[in-house]
Amino acid sequence: MNVIVLKICFMVFWVATGIIRYPHGQRQKKNQIRTDNKDALEKTLLAGATIGIAILPLLYVFTPIFSFADYQLPLWINVLGLALAPLTLWLFWRSHKDLGLNWSASLEVREEHSLVTNGVYKSIRHPMYTAIWLWGLLQACLLPNYIGGFSTLIFFGILYFLRVGKEEKMMQQTFGEEYRQYMKQTGRIFPHFWLKQQNV
């Protein structure tokens, strides 16, 4: 597929994720932070995620600076990327909606924090992270460039693996047995019923 068309499709997706997130970023300010677990590592990971999710793909789309890392992708991979868009956007929207005022971009517990176990959180503990993994895959399928294509998978991947265990520990400290029970009924980023079927 033509690279300009791919870049336009990716930017429509990218702007849509911003439109989904913006009102939640505004609304959650109403729910004050009670515990802030943002240490130096977490701040570095957040900066890395911003580079991977926003800065590098935008530099690729709008400037020629990464043209040395261009390559060609077969059409079916581009089509796969486009096909991932509705599911990814839906899951990104739905996880924000279900998490409501409990959402934060970082490891924080809010004053009125409640444990969400309904909606998409019923069978997956980290559906927003699932959506961002799908976003990374979509980006790799649409942008034929080693830097522009893989930046979200790499930078978000590092954040995910270094954060998810800490986040679950923080949730256990906050909600105790309730969260431990919840962990037994859910999969981390794949639905629990799917994991059960695979016997893992």
Please give the residue ranges that form the binding site for ligand SAH (CB under 6 A). Answer: 95, 99, 102-104, 107-109, 115-116, 121, 126-129, 167, 171
- Find the shortest distance in angstroms from Cβ 76 to ligand SAH: 29
Buried b (16+ CB within 10 A) or exposed e, 66-81: beeebeebeeeebebb
- Find the shortest distance in angstroms from Cβ 171 to ligand SAH: 6
- Find the shortest distance in angstroms from Cβ 44 to ligand SAH: 17
DSSP the chain: --HHHHHHHHHHHHHHHHHHHHHHHHHGGGS-EEEE---HHHHHHHHHHHIIIIIHHHHHHH-STTGGGB----HHHHHHHHHHHHHHHHHHHHHHHHHGGG--SSSEEETT-----SGGGGTBS-HHHHHHHHHHHHHHHH--BHHHHHHHHHHHHHHHHHHHHHHHHHHHHHHTHHHHHHHHH-BSSS-HHHHHHTT-
Which residue lies nearer to ligand SAH by CB, 67 or 114? 114
- Find the shortest distance in angstroms from Cβ 167 to ligand SAH: 5
Which residue lies nearer to ligand SAH by CB, 51 or 102? 102
Which residue lies nearer to ligand SAH by CB, 46 or 109? 109
- Find the shortest distance in angstroms from Cβ 191 to ligand SAH: 13
List the structure tokens of 191.
């639905």
- Find the shortest distance in angstroms from Cβ 102 to ligand SAH: 4
Which residue lies nearer to ligand SAH by CB, 59 or 109? 109
Which residue lies nearer to ligand SAH by CB, 104 or 151? 104
Which residue lies nearer to ligand SAH by CB, 70 or 167? 167
